[in-house]
Amino acid sequence: MPPLDRKSFHWAWVILATVFVDLFINYSVRIGYGVVLPEMISNLGFTRTDTASIYNSYLFAYIAITPFSGYLTDRLGARRVITACAFILGVGVILMGTIQELWTACLFYAVVGVGATGMWTPVLTVVQRWFTPKKRGLALGIISPGYGLGFAAMGAAFPWIVHTYTWRHAWYFLGAGALAMVLGNALLLKSDPESSGYRPWGEKEGAAPSGPADHTSPATISVSAVFRNRNFWIIGFSYFAVAYSLYGVTTFMVDYAKSQLGIPIEKASLLATVHGFSQVIGVLTLLPLSDYLGRKKTIVLMNSFIAASLFGIVLSGHSWGTLCFLVGLFAVFYGPTFPIYGACAGDYFPRSVMGTVIGAWTPFYGLGAIMSHWVTGMLRDSTGFYNLAFLTNGVMALAGLVLILFVRKKPS
């Protein structure tokens, strides 16, 4: 079917709306764990190291399966992968509301991690296929508030849920939302524009296809060639470092405010709301900016501010106002991190292997987050404070900045 120039309406916007809701629900589950965390510790008697192990069971499952979900997205299409994963996600989240012991929490959150593999790599892949390279930052900027708003919603809604019901109902509500998206994804998603009679949005009629294929032919590149590419490894290790820097603070900041600073849970939970809304500011500004400034320069800028805000959180003492400001500043640059690293796949590699590349980078990200959780939890349990752990996160942000400086401008 030849691509059509449909000026009145383009299905790319339906794709964006659908995956926006996917991200909202997925990240309400994923980041909301840190909001539910203090109540789980209090009710179930878990230590911080225990709760880090629960999250890491999610991450182990996530990084083990994501390379396959990326590969399957390239082979079977994003619609099938995302729909199947939404079902698995919903079942796992509902099971989280039933946990009584550590091993069941680890098992069920690992199921959630398997479902979540369809809510990032396939999403980034399908969005980048429906938009031209010069419009990808804009498109990712539109969908990325979904995960920031998910975080903000949990921070605002969780105290009400606990007061009206229990912390377990937070999982039940989120699981029901994930199951509802099974039908939405099955009906509305289309894996690529060409098979649906469209051109990628932003591509003019009669123009030659644009993108990384100008540098390397999609028909000739192999998966082994991806792993021989110097930029693949540099970006991957930078992703590892910045993931380490982000997750220790994000997961434990509510507990930090409650247990170390003595702030009531109702007030401490507001940090998640500040974090979530600040992410929206970041993705709406920095992702479109990256289309013009370039992904490399944007990553350098973001990692600089992430490091500065992490050091500032440790030095802010017991000032609630300063803590809110620094968490907000941190989140402005936290929000765009994951989509911008994902957009590097579209900038440095052909469209035909974007899903494979994004999926192959996920273990770097996942191992960084896993290490951050365990180290942060162990340092908190052994010292009684989060200070040393948060300082380590700041150093890792600087490491990610240095690594990205060595990325070449063009694909090799």
DSSP notation for 107-173: HHHHHHHHHHGGGSHHHHHHHHHHB-GGGHHHHHHHHTHHHHHHHHHHHHHHHHHHHHS-HHHHHHH
Q: Please give the pLDDT value at position 234.
A: 93
pTM: 0.68
Per-residue pLDDT averaged across 111-118, rounded? 93
Question: Can you tell me the distance from the alpha carbon of 28 to that of 122, in angstroms, rounded to the nearest whole number?
Answer: 18
Q: Which two three-digit tokens encode residue 166?
A: 């229990």
* Max mean pLDDT range (14-18, 91-95, 369-373): 91-95
Could you tell me if residue 410 is inside a domain?
no
Could you tell me if residue 213 is inside a domain?
no
Q: Which of the residue ranges 120-134, 229-243, 393-407 would you say has the lowest mean pLDDT?
A: 120-134
Per-residue pLDDT averaged across 126-146, rounded? 78
Residues whose CB falls within 8 Å of the CB of residue 383, separated by 6 or more in sequence, listed in order: none
SS3 labels along 343-397: HHHHHHCCHHHHHHHHHHHHHHHHHHHHHHHHHHHHHHHHHCCCHHHHHHHHHHH
Which amino acid is residue 271, in one-letter code? L
Per the structure, the complete domain to which residue 62 belongs is given by: 12-196+221-404
Tell me if residue 86 falls in helix, strand or coil.
helix
Q: Which of the residue ranges 31-45, 198-212, 234-248, 269-283 would you say has the lowest mean pLDDT?
A: 198-212
pLDDT reading at 6 higher than 70: no
Could you tell me if residue 4 is inside a domain?
no
Q: Please give the pLDDT value at position 251.
A: 82
pLDDT reading at 17 higher than 80: yes
pLDDT tens per residue across span 257-289: 888 888 887 788 888 888 878 888 888 888 888
Could you tell me if residue 50 is inside a domain?
yes
pLDDT tens per residue across span 32-82: 777 777 788 888 888 878 887 888 899 889 888 888 888 888 888 889 999
pLDDT reading at 220 higher than 60: no
- What does 236-297 look like in DSSP terms, one character per residue? HHHHHHHHHHHHHHHHHHHHIIIIIS---HHHHTHHHHHHHHHHHHHHHHHHHHHHHH-HHH
| Residue listed under structure tokens 């150093």 | 395
pLDDT reading at 208 higher than 80: no
Could you tell me if residue 2 is inside a domain?
no
Domain containing residue 351: CATH number: 1.20.1250.20
Q: Please give the pLDDT value at position 332.
A: 92
With pLDDT > 90 as the criterion, what percentage of the chain qualifies?
Answer: 28
pLDDT reading at 394 higher than 90: yes
Average pLDDT, the chain: 83
CA atoms within 13 A on the CB side of 177: 16
Could you tell me if residue 151 is inside a domain?
yes
Could you tell me if residue 54 is inside a domain?
yes
pLDDT tens per residue across span 294-309: 888 899 999 999 999 9
Q: Please give the pLDDT value at position 222.
A: 65
Could you tell me if residue 3 is inside a domain?
no
Tell me if residue 334 falls in helix, strand or coil.
helix
Q: What angle do CA 74, 72, 11 make, to 5 degrees?
A: 50
How many domains in the chain?
1
More confident residue, 147 or 10: 10
Q: Do residues 348 and 238 make contact, with C-beta atoms less than 8 angstroms apart?
A: no
Q: How confident is the model at residue 109 (pLDDT cuts 50, 70, 90)?
A: very high
